[in-house]
Chains A and B, each alone.
Chain A
Amino acid sequence: GQQVMQIPQYQHVQEGEDFTTYCNSSTTLSNIQWYKQRPGGHPVFLIQLVKSGEVKKQKRLTFQFGEAKKNSSLHITATQTTDVGTYFCAGPLYNFNKFYFGSGTKLNVKP
């Protein structure tokens, strides 16, 4: 069954509002990656977090990896229409080979 869950499934925001998606794994992840998929496109790598409690920032995007390495979040400050897409978390569970993706959060930004 699904090992990595993501919430919410959908999020509609007004441009300028903040957005957060949460990722939870039933078991410890060795690391976690985040990807963005634009409508009609393919997933594109955003970032990888490795250490427990790690926080990384990319401009308006903030990524966190939980202390227990079982959860993660992506926060976007002051969304823009260019942020539209589906955001996925992904991680290898027991080794570095077999990957599990979250179900994704589809973000829609109204101008």
Chain B
Amino acid sequence: EAQVTQNPRYLITVTGKKLTVTCSQNMNHEYMSWYRQDPGLGLRQIYYSMNVEVTDKGDVPEGYKVSRKEKRNFPLILESPSPNQTSLYFCASSFVPSGSSYEQYFGPGTRLTVT
């Protein structure tokens, strides 16, 4: 089954404790992206990756890191989480045809609480 998986689905942590949220897709998509969703703000892009070893900042990258060592995986790293990073996080992936964009497939989401 074609899908995007995220782990963990729920996480409660304390300020300053480094954490990683994993994301994996089995559709051989080049494009992967991380979003955070907060009430009234919709989804805001944190980082995206066009392919292996190619990553770039989205709209709200501060406090986050990513890596793309393999095509299928795109982990999100919070080196020193703070309470303002409490949010619902979604990973997404899509193909990247030339000259256009394509529908994004979203993972189930990770609800993070930083106390």
Q: How many interface contacts (CB-CB < 8 Å) are there between A and B?
A: 66
Check if B44 sits within 8 Å of A43, measured CB to CB. no
Instruction: Please give the number of chain B residues whose Cβ is less than 8 angstroms from any Cβ of chain A in the complex.
Output: 28
Within 8 A of A (CB), among B34-53: 35, 40-45, 48, 50
Give CA–CA (A92, B48) in the complex, Å: 12
A85 at the interface (CB under 8 A from B): no
Check if B100 sits within 8 Å of A96, measured CB to CB. yes
Among B40, B56, B109, point to the contact of A97 (Cβ < 8 A): B56
Interface positions of B (Cβ within 8 A of A): 31, 33, 35, 40-45, 48, 50, 56, 58-59, 90, 92, 96, 99-109
* A-B contact list, 20 entries, CB within 8 Å: A4-B42, A30-B101, A33-B101, A33-B103, A33-B104, A42-B90, A43-B104, A43-B106, A45-B105, A48-B101, A48-B103, A50-B100, A96-B100, A98-B58, A98-B59, A99-B58, A101-B35, A101-B45, A102-B42, A103-B42
